[in-house]
Structure 1
Amino acid sequence: MKSSNPVFARRGFARDGGRAARGSRHPQAVGASVGSPAGAEAYGPHTVNPYAEDGPRGPRVSKDAPPQDRSQAAPIDGAMTIDDVVARSALTLGTVALTAVLSWVLLPVHDAGTGRSYGIAAGAALVAFALSLVQSFRREPSPALILAYAAFEGVFLGVISHTTSEYVAPGAVVQAVLGTLTVFAGVLIAYRLRWIRVTHRFHGFVLASATGFLLLMVVDLCASAFGGGGGLGFDSGALGILFGAVGILLGACFLALDFRQVEDGIAYGAPRKESWLAAFGLTVTLVWIYLEALRVLSILIQQNDD
Structure 2
Amino acid sequence: MRTSSNPVFRQLSGNGQGGYAGFGYQGQQQTGYGYPSAPPTAADRPMTIDDVVTKTAATLGTTVVVGGLSAAFLPPGVALLGAIVGLVLALIISFRQSTNPALILAYAAAEGVFLGAITKVIDYLVPGVAVQAVIGTVVVFATMLVVYRTGAVKVTPRLTKWIIGATMGAFALIVLNLLMSFFGLNLGVRGNGPLAIIVSLVFIGIAAFNLLLDFDQADRAIRAGAPARFAWFIAFGLMVTLVWLYVEILNLLAQLQRN
**TM over 0.5, yes or no?**
yes
What amino acid maps onto 1:260 in structure 2?
D
Distance 1:137 1:184 in 2: 26
2:51 is the alignment partner of 1:84 = yes
CA RMSD of aligned residues (A): 2.3
Distance 2:161 2:86 in 1: 27
Distance 1:140 1:240 in 2: 36
Residue 279 of structure 1 is matched in structure 2 by 235
- Which of 101, 106, 110 is the matching residue for 1:143? 101
Residue 79 of structure 2 is matched in structure 1 by 121
2:46 aligned counterpart, secondary structure: coil
Do the aligned partners of 1:51 and 1:268 also contact (CA within 8 Å) in 2?
A: no
Do the aligned partners of 1:3 and 1:278 also contact (CA within 8 Å) in 2?
A: no
2:200 is the alignment partner of 1:232 = no
Residue 169 of structure 2 is matched in structure 1 by 212
Distance 1:4 1:146 in 2: 20
- Which of 199, 220, 225 is the matching residue for 1:264? 220
Residue 34 of structure 2 is matched in structure 1 by none
- Which of 132, 149, 156 is the matching residue for 1:175? 132
Distance 2:203 2:237 in 1: 16
What amino acid maps onto 2:51 in structure 1?
D
Residue 120 of structure 2 is matched in structure 1 by 162
Distance 1:50 1:255 in 2: 26
Do the aligned partners of 2:8 and 2:94 also contact (CA within 8 Å) in 1?
A: yes
- Equivalent runs, 1:1-306 vs 2, <5 Å: 5-14=6-15, 21-22=18-19, 51-52=25-26, 78-108=45-75, 117-118=76-77, 120-167=78-125, 169-228=126-185, 230-303=186-259
Residue 33 of structure 2 is matched in structure 1 by none
Distance 1:216 1:231 in 2: 9
Do the aligned partners of 2:188 and 2:196 also contact (CA within 8 Å) in 1?
A: no
Shift of 1:218: 0.9
Do the aligned partners of 2:97 and 2:233 also contact (CA within 8 Å) in 1?
A: no
Shift of 1:53: 5.6
Which runs of 5 or more residues in structure 1 are unaligned?
26-48, 56-76, 109-116
1:21-66 Cα offsets, whole Å, 9 max, x none, are 43578xxxxxxxxxxxxxxxxxxxxxxx9643689xxxxxxxxxxx
Which runs of 5 or more residues in structure 2 are unaligned?
30-43
2:94 aligned counterpart, secondary structure: helix
Distance 1:217 1:139 in 2: 25
Shift of 1:7: 4.4
Shift of 1:144: 1.0
- TM-score computed with the length of structure 2 as normaliser: 0.87
- Indicate the percent of aligned positions where both proteins have the same amino acid: 43
What amino acid maps onto 1:10 in structure 2?
Q
Do the aligned partners of 1:180 and 1:286 also contact (CA within 8 Å) in 2?
A: yes
Could you say if the C-alpha distance between residues 292 and 144 of structure 1 is closer, same or farther in structure 2, counting changes exceeding 3 Å?
Answer: same
Distance 2:136 2:25 in 1: 36
1:250-292 Cα offsets, whole Å, 9 max, x none, are 1111100011111111111110001001100111111111000
Do the aligned partners of 1:236 and 1:299 also contact (CA within 8 Å) in 2?
A: yes
Do the aligned partners of 1:103 and 1:155 also contact (CA within 8 Å) in 2?
A: yes
